[in-house]
Structure 1
Amino acid sequence: MNNAVTLPRGRLVLSGAGAEFAAPGPQFTTRVAYAAAHVVADPAADNFPGRPAALDWDATLAFRHHLWRHGFGVAEAMDTAQRGMGLDYPTTRELVRRSAREAREARGLIVAGVATDQLPDGPATLDEVRKAYREQLDDVQDAGARPVLMCSRHLAAAATSPDDYLSVYGELLRHADGPVVLHWLGPMFDPALAGYWGSPDLGTATEVVLALIHAHAGKVDGIKVSLLDEEFEVALRRRLPAGVRLYTGDDFHYPALIRGDGPRPEPSGRVGRTYSDALLGIFAAIAPPAAAALRALDAGDLDRYEQLFAPTVPLARHIFGAPTYYYKTGIVFLAWLAGHQEHFTMVGGLHSGRSPRHLVELLRLADAAGLLPDAELAAHRARAWLTTVGVPQ
């Protein structure tokens, strides 16, 4: 066996330690956990910037079954799947339809993103934003997935006040067939979303979000928060109405947020929600050890929970490091090394979004976290890739 890889500054022998996490299992009992899945490009197609996305459907759907087998729900057509970065809306609609059908067969949980990206780039009116959101909401509901009302670049540009957000989202929630998931994606993931909810001030934006949720609590399953701010998330989740979940999208602090901080009454005597559920892009990359950690939490084994998650955190912080909106490149690179797809190619040419230095460090951290169970395969692929970027093997 040849598990060795020559790096620019030394030699790395891959361990293959992740084989112990390979066993699948049922859904988790104490937390709801969705993994936001990437898409697998067709490597023989013209997947260059500006072209409609061409997917390898078999590999894309097989990866979703991998997540369901490990107990995760699938968060479909989110930013992890290159929404707004190469994945056009006709392909998105087909992706949701196919994945929802597979979810029914697998008896797996699925939610799917609703946005306005069928509109052309550039200015849009509030009425056009409403119509685009409604179209996608109907598409997701018709497919049989729970909607996630994603942040809209068009709404961020068109809205002139918090009332515009309350009006648009209120209409969508009234139109929804059942509870949906709201989505608060920070500008580190998409700079066009700065000032979302009508204010650049986080406190003011929070009051708008809470006003929306309290006014429509029966139509809100939860809110996914991706602001990479642990203290803010804890404060927000304590203020949510009973029965409304906070789905952490914090790929830096997820172990502590999911574990929770115990009951702490507010001045009113009410005890807010003490832990976060999860809807995370990193879970797709670390599914086997993350599933083992969540089952340890189900069993009340907090030491094992912390032990399993600890080596994944440096990897997650590296993958989601600035510029954060290119994290998808690392997710796909790792999926290739781990054997979930046969190539390192992305729609829109996004595989060029990270430097060789970044991906070399990702390789090292992934091995340390036990995410490369077939060390020989991973080393073979890493050597081939390193050769193409000028590191002789």
Structure 2
Amino acid sequence: MALTLQLPAADGRLAPYTLRGSAPARPAAGVRFNRVAYSAAHVVADPLAAVDPWLQCAVDWDATIGYRRHLWSLGLGVAEAMDTAQRGMGLDWPTSLELIRRSLEAARDVPGALVACGCGTDHLAPDVNSVDQVIAGYEAQMAAIERLGGRLIVMASRALARVARSPADYERVYDRILSQARQPVILHWLGDMFDPALAGYWGSSDIDSAMDTALGIIAAHPDKVDGIKISLLDKDKEIAMRRRLPAGVRMYTGDDFNYAELIAGDGAGAEPTHGRSDALLGIFDAIAPAASAALAELAQGRLERFHAILGPTVPLSRHIFAAPTRFYKTGVVFMAWLNGHQRHFTMVGGQQSARSLPHFAELFRLADAANLLERPELAARRMRTLLALHGVDA
């Protein structure tokens, strides 16, 4: 039986929409990839906690770790306590460290499970005013994560962006941090469309100059850098940078607009890693089965099948990550709710209110078009619940 709902368009007018109901693509058991693929994973809020959501963080730990097990079952790694988990946007450092601890503990029971952990300076007070304080902030989080056995993703620092006066300040900070790391780290370059407080990162508002600084830091420590994740939503800048990386250093695409073609690659460059990107993506949380199935096809050399599966997810991703891009987490959690991976649509920090009903309606249509609604009847029922909360009889 066809499932039809009354959904609002961008102008607020209601129109009938009938679901296609196509089954999502899924990888075969024992899937293997020829790309390293991390999903930056969201956290599930505890809606029954007696807290003030804008001020306090309450996490449903069972559901949150359950979703990580889901990602691992699909062959995807977990990039833990990153911006997709609302790090610095509702998720504080003590809760982030507890999340990292629980995720690393759960991963020990899953053969081959990949986990990399966000290390930043978000515990520092707003009045930090020196590079030395930023270094000490990074060192404190590094020590805490490494004590747990975690591998580091060195996140971009709002505090460093605020206090640094030149590229030399970035070079000083990263030289100190990389020289101490126990194992190769993933660096993290998040554009200001994701976080306005990171404008001018690497000491310049000019992307090419900033890239030169980042590449110089990597070249000085190639044995301490596994790769760099960049989220600039500019595929040409990413391609230009990956072709200049030292041998063996990976480019982890964070481009949620152009990930399909960047992962597929162009085969150019003197090194294998120069011709394609690996992945560390927030959108992989929302499209995990399709991402896994597509990567499995790519590993078998079936490029057309890779694009046939992953290509239809790109319009959905561009919608989820539309400006203001930092609100993309709302769409990611909405997808998890539609697909039955959590029992409610509430978020840390009350961020479920960050997008409009027409935005959610278009997300629903695009998810259906991309064959991403895992249980169409449940998704339709939950969409009707959201519509009813907004006064719409669907």
Same fold at TM > 0.5: yes
Change (3 A) 1:33 1:138: same
AA paired with 2:99? Answer: L
Q: What's the CA shift for 1:272? A: 6.6
8 Å Cα contact 1:185-1:225 kept in structure 2: yes
AA paired with 1:208? Answer: T
SS of aligned partner of 2:109: helix
AA paired with 1:298? Answer: A
Change (3 A) 1:312 1:20: closer
Partner of 1:3: 3
Change (3 A) 1:27 1:149: farther
- Identify the match of residue 136 of structure 2 among 103, 117, 131: 131
8 Å Cα contact 1:2-1:379 kept in structure 2: no
Name structure 2 gaps, 5 residues minimum: 9-13
Partner of 1:63: 67
8 Å Cα contact 1:47-1:347 kept in structure 2: no
Partner of 2:11: none
8 Å Cα contact 1:48-1:347 kept in structure 2: no
Partner of 1:262: 267
1:210 counterpart = 2:215: yes
Q: What's the CA shift for 1:135? A: 1.1
AA paired with 2:7? Answer: L
C-alpha distance in 1, partners of 2:22/2:82?
30
C-alpha distance in 1, partners of 2:52/2:335?
21
Q: Which moved more, 1:349-358 or 1:24-33?
A: 24-33
8 Å Cα contact 1:24-1:69 kept in structure 2: no
8 Å Cα contact 1:41-1:47 kept in structure 2: no
Partner of 2:189: 184
- Identify the match of residue 93 of structure 1 among 93, 97, 102: 97
SS of aligned partner of 1:210: helix
Partner of 1:251: 256
Name structure 1 gaps, 5 residues minimum: none
8 Å Cα contact 1:119-1:132 kept in structure 2: yes
Q: What's the CA shift for 1:263? A: 2.6
SS of aligned partner of 1:44: coil
AA paired with 2:315? Answer: P
SS of aligned partner of 1:112: strand
**Deviations along 1:55-78, whole A, 9 cap, x unmatched?**
000100000011000000000000
Q: Which moved more, 1:210-219 or 1:271-280?
A: 271-280
**Deviations along 1:103-142, whole A, 9 cap, x unmatched?**
1111200001001111123443222211111111112212
8 Å Cα contact 1:25-1:71 kept in structure 2: no
C-alpha distance in 2, partners of 1:390/1:100?
43
Structural mapping, 1:1-393, within 5 Å: 3-8=3-8, 9-21=14-26, 25-26=29-30, 28-46=32-50, 48-107=52-111, 108-264=113-269, 273-393=274-394
Number of residue pairs the alignment of both structures matches: 388
SS of aligned partner of 2:360: helix
Change (3 A) 1:333 1:122: farther
**Deviations along 1:172-224, whole A, 9 cap, x unmatched?**
11111010000000000000000000011111111110110000000000000
**Deviations along 1:6-43, whole A, 9 cap, x unmatched?**
2132122223323452x564453310000000000001
C-alpha distance in 1, partners of 2:73/2:273?
32
Q: What's the CA shift for 1:149? A: 0.3
C-alpha distance in 1, partners of 2:56/2:118?
19
**Deviations along 1:235-265, whole A, 9 cap, x unmatched?**
1000000010000000000011000002346
SS of aligned partner of 1:275: coil
SS of aligned partner of 2:108: helix
Percent same amino acid among aligned pairs? 55
Change (3 A) 1:147 1:264: closer
Change (3 A) 1:18 1:124: farther
C-alpha distance in 1, partners of 2:278/2:80?
17
C-alpha distance in 1, partners of 2:179/2:219?
13
- RMSD between aligned alpha carbons? 1.5
Q: What's the CA shift for 1:92? A: 0.4
C-alpha distance in 1, partners of 2:375/2:51?
29
C-alpha distance in 1, partners of 2:186/2:99?
19
8 Å Cα contact 2:37-2:280 kept in structure 1: yes
AA paired with 1:136? Answer: Q
8 Å Cα contact 2:297-2:303 kept in structure 1: yes
SS of aligned partner of 1:148: strand
8 Å Cα contact 1:312-1:369 kept in structure 2: yes
C-alpha distance in 2, partners of 1:199/1:392?
51
Change (3 A) 1:357 1:273: same
Change (3 A) 1:27 1:135: farther
C-alpha distance in 2, partners of 1:304/1:374?
23
**Deviations along 1:240-293, whole A, 9 cap, x unmatched?**
00010000000000011000002346xxxx787100000000011001111111
Change (3 A) 1:232 1:77: same
